[in-house]
Amino acid sequence: MTPVFAIENLSVEFARADGTVAAVRAASLAVRPGECVGIVGESGSGKTQMLMAAMGLLGNGARASGSVRFEEREILGLPAAQLNRVRGSRLTMVFQDPMTALTPHLRIGTQLAEVLVRHRQVTWRDAEQRALRILERVRISEPRRRLRQYPHELSGGLRQRVMIGMSLLCEPSVLIADEPTTALDVTVQMHIIDLLRSMREESRMAIVLVSHDLGVVAGLAERIYVMYAGRVVETARTGRILAGAEHPYTAGLLACVPDLDAPRRARMPSLAGQPPDPTGIERGCAFAPRCERAQERCHVERPLLRDRPEDHQVACHFPLSA
Amino acid sequence: MSGELLEVKGLHVRFGAVSVLEDVSFAIRPGEIVGLVGESGSGKSTIARAVLRLIPIASGSVEFLGSNLHSLGSGELRRARRDLQIVFQDPLASLNPRMSIGDALAEPLRIHEPQLTARERESRVSGMLERVGLSGDILRRYPHEFSGGQCQRIGIARAMMPSPKLLVCDEPVSSLDVSIQGQIVNLLADLQRDTGAAVLFISHNLAVVRHLSRRVLVIYRGRVVESAGCDELFARPVHPYTRELLAAVPHLSAPPRRIAAPAGDSTGLAPGAGGCPFHPRCAFAQAACQRGVPPLAQVRPGHLAACHRWRELV
């Protein structure tokens, strides 16, 4: 099946007073209709910037190159007027902080209806009816009352449900969810992930789910992309990542996911060191300074993303299977 | 003196007409690490602020080293605060952006140990930086130059400068990557072991609390609903809310765990007309749960739970 959304060789650079910063370096990713893919990596690994570039949401001073295809059409670099025909309707995005993503001085109902009036040319009355139905669909209690409320009157979990509802209004073929649960409590997080799962089952919509927490992504995604220092360093189907991750970074992230069924350990697992500084010049493998398996070669020669058995790619000179 | 370092008794806190903490009592012994778990809005941070006397309390008492903090004069309070330090959730926001790291760390010493010479201060600051895993050459740098994990190390170093007897950590790892959280948790464990300071560790994530705490308190809507030794709480949780928190921790073995009943939104629901505060979203609620707030009952030695149906859930 052809991907509905494909990022190819995407690079993102920011101009700064002290030089350029490469946030994303030749990253590629593909999502088929109805599929959910996850992107994991630490802060600064380029996850968000890659998707912001794909959505045409980069700020001034940023430059993106490469290709982004959506529904078999190139959308990278499209003028805003053309991009706005798909953005927010067929291709939508849910952000980490639902408070800043909603307009504080407009009622929930107005904000939802506006999306339909803008993209679907329906009347306000019809739009409000559909806004009510979407709140029911994302299982918000007392939907009629919510339509008249302002964002600050809702809890974080409810606001994120509203955001997801808003992103579903025009029946998108791709939903990008960037750390949608990171600002939420663990109990609320579980309900939001459940909600995304059932929305996908109902509509065959594809989802790109971004998180620093592999535990969150593994619960929903069929395929996982692991990013480090702006590059995809490993990708495979979720089961393969969980059972046979080959990149030491992926293995480190996996070890950090808590297992409450295992006996309590004296030390909490973590990755040593800090995420890399994107201003540095790339030499060798970016993960080498934090890698226990690193050898001389890792510090001088950058490993390329190579094919492994079972639809699996890894960028490491000394993968864990070897 | 009862042998407790901190003793919170019958604490009530109100913000205007809203009751935020209801009858919260707990104690921390010298050198003990106590975890405090609950969701946003449950009152965790309010407990931290009341313990430090950063907010006024409606009734109850906070006894620290034998004196009630909320009745101390300003001079005595300042002396008490030397032994009572806090680490905040947002490591960057809690550091002054215009103050170099060296100055930020030296400031607690200028306040609490004014007799020290500049050289003595410098040597204490360098020693502490090394202790938290940062190199001495960052003294002249500023907070924005550091990652979240490094800023949190700086925040911990600053709090530990006056050698406190109790360190209150309010969600110290919640804004950090999962991969970095362990570094900070392990650092706190090491500092506790080396200095003998007690720690009140606040988090919404049970998985984080588990590695550090000897005892855990679970708080829901301003009340302690369960407290037990750490291993006991994880192995045999009684309160349905604690069970829900445990089930919600993301983990890798598929399929995802699910809890019996669909949960409501804790802050979106209208408060129940009396009864157990958890009953509107409780999978085990019965009609009886609407009658009266359940008191904390001893379900096993050292294990308390506030649930009308605890006998059936033990």
B98-143 residue pLDDT tens: 999 999 999 999 999 999 999 999 999 999 999 999 988 899 999 9
Q: Which residues of B78-100 are buried (b: 16+ CB within 10 A; e: fewer)?
A: eebbbbbbbbbbbbbebbeeeee
Q: What is the mean predicted confidence (pLDDT) over A115-119?
A: 92
CB-CB under 8 Å, B40 with A270: no
| C-beta separation of B148 from B176 below 8 A | yes
- Does the pLDDT of residue B262 top 90, yes or no? no
- Does the pLDDT of residue B278 top 90, yes or no? yes
Which among A213, A219, A253 has CB closest to B256?
A219
Owner of token pair 């009862």: B2
Nearest in space to A106 (alpha carbons), one of A151, A145, A156? A151
Q: Does A253 touch chain B (CB under 8 A)?
A: yes
Q: Does B297 touch chain A (CB under 8 A)?
A: no
Q: What is the mean predicted confidence (pLDDT) over B262-272?
A: 40
Predicted pLDDT of residue B273:
56
CB-CB under 8 Å, A219 with B185: no
Predicted pLDDT of residue A313:
97
3-class SS at B15?
strand
Predicted pLDDT of residue B106:
96
pLDDT in tens, A261-302: 888 887 899 998 888 877 777 889 999 999 999 999 999 999
Q: What is the mean predicted confidence (pLDDT) over A128-150?
A: 92
Q: Does A216 touch chain B (CB under 8 A)?
A: yes
Q: What is the mean predicted confidence (pLDDT) over B24-49?
A: 94
| C-beta separation of B75 from B105 below 8 A | no
- Does the pLDDT of residue B263 top 50, yes or no? no
Predicted pLDDT of residue A186:
84
Q: Does A258 touch chain B (CB under 8 A)?
A: yes
Q: What is the mean predicted confidence (pLDDT) over B236-252?
A: 90
Q: Collect all residues of chain B within an 8 Å Cβ-Cβ radius of residue A216.
A: 250
Q: Collect all residues of chain A within an 8 Å Cβ-Cβ radius of residue B185.
A: 268, 270
Which among B182, B253, B268 has CB closest to A270?
B182
Q: How many Cα atoms are found within 13 Å in the side-chain-facing hemisphere of A319?
A: 21
- Does the pLDDT of residue B264 top 50, yes or no? no
Counting residues of chain A whose pLDDT is more than 70, the rounded percentage is 100
Interface test with B, best of A187, A211, A237, A250 (most B CBs within 10 A): A187
Q: Collect all residues of chain B within an 8 Å Cβ-Cβ radius of residue A212.
A: 177-179
- Does the pLDDT of residue A137 top 90, yes or no? no
Specify the pTM: 0.89
Which residue stretches of B12-163 are H helix?
A: 44-51, 74-82, 101-112, 118-131, 148-160
Counting residues of chain A whose pLDDT is more than 90, the rounded percentage is 70
Residue A304: both structure tokens together: 């390329």
CB-CB under 8 Å, B250 with A257: yes
**How far apart, in Å, do the first and last CA atoms of chain A sit?**
32
Predicted pLDDT of residue B260:
39
Predicted pLDDT of residue B256:
47
Which among B186, B204, B269 has CB closest to A185?
B204
Packed helices A124-137 and A108-120: angle between N→C axes, nearest 10 degrees: 120
Nearest in space to A76 (alpha carbons), one of A49, A47, A55? A55
Q: Collect all residues of chain B within an 8 Å Cβ-Cβ radius of residue A256.
A: 178-179, 181-182
Q: What is the mean predicted confidence (pLDDT) over A62-83?
A: 95
A10 vs A184, residue with greater confidence: A10
Predicted pLDDT of residue A99:
80
- Does the pLDDT of residue A321 top 60, yes or no? yes
Residue window 215-244, chain B: list those with CB within 8 Å of chain A.
Answer: 230-231, 234, 244
Q: Collect all residues of chain A within an 8 Å Cβ-Cβ radius of residue B33.
A: none
Q: What is the mean predicted confidence (pLDDT) over A167-193?
A: 89
- Does the pLDDT of residue B257 top 70, yes or no? no
Counting residues of chain B whose pLDDT is more than 70, the rounded percentage is 93
Predicted pLDDT of residue B50:
96
CB-CB under 8 Å, B147 with A43: yes
Q: What is the mean pLDDT of chain A?
A: 92
Q: What is the ipTM of this complex?
A: 0.83
Span of A123-127, B87-91, B193-197 with lowest mean pLDDT: B87-91
Q: Does B261 touch chain A (CB under 8 A)?
A: no
What span, in angstroms and rounded, lies between the C-alpha atoms of B139 and B102? 4
Residue type, position A288, single letter: A
